[in-house]
Amino acid sequence: MNPAAVPFLPRGVRVHEDRVRGMSVLLAPERALKLDAIGLAILGEVDGETPFGEIVTRLAARYEAPAERIAADAAAFLDGLVERRIVEVRP
């Protein structure tokens, strides 16, 4: 994920508040992925307008963590979803 790339959730993918299990899940075709607090925070910044670099800056500020670490974690998380066609990017 390069800093200028703009990630977004394509149609058919959405975050769902699962009240029965008391967790957030990412719903996609034939998939339901449990979201932990980190995943939820990352996806919370994925709005289809904000470039990846800015997402990292915001998360680093909010969690008072080094930007390099946030960048590595967020890229691994989002790249994994891109590979599975659950997240898409605008170049």
Residues near other proteins (CB under 8 A) are: 10-14, 16, 18, 20-21, 25, 27, 29-30, 32, 82-85
Using CA atoms, how far apart are residues 25 and 71, in angstroms rounded to an integer? 22
Q: How far is the CB of 77 from other proteins (least distance, A)?
A: 15
Question: Are the CB atoms for 88 and 82 separated by under 8 Å?
Answer: yes
Q: Minimal distance in Å, beta carbon 81 to other proteins?
A: 10
Question: In terms of CB distance, is 69 or 84 closer to other proteins?
Answer: 84
All residues at 6 or more sequence positions from 66 whose CB lies less than 8 Å from its CB, including other chains: 60
Beta carbon of residue 3, minimum distance to other proteins (angstroms, whole number):
19
Judged by beta carbon, residue 17 or residue 64, the one nearer other proteins is 17
Name residue, tokens 């394509």: 10
Q: How far apart are CA 9 and CA 63, in angstroms?
A: 23
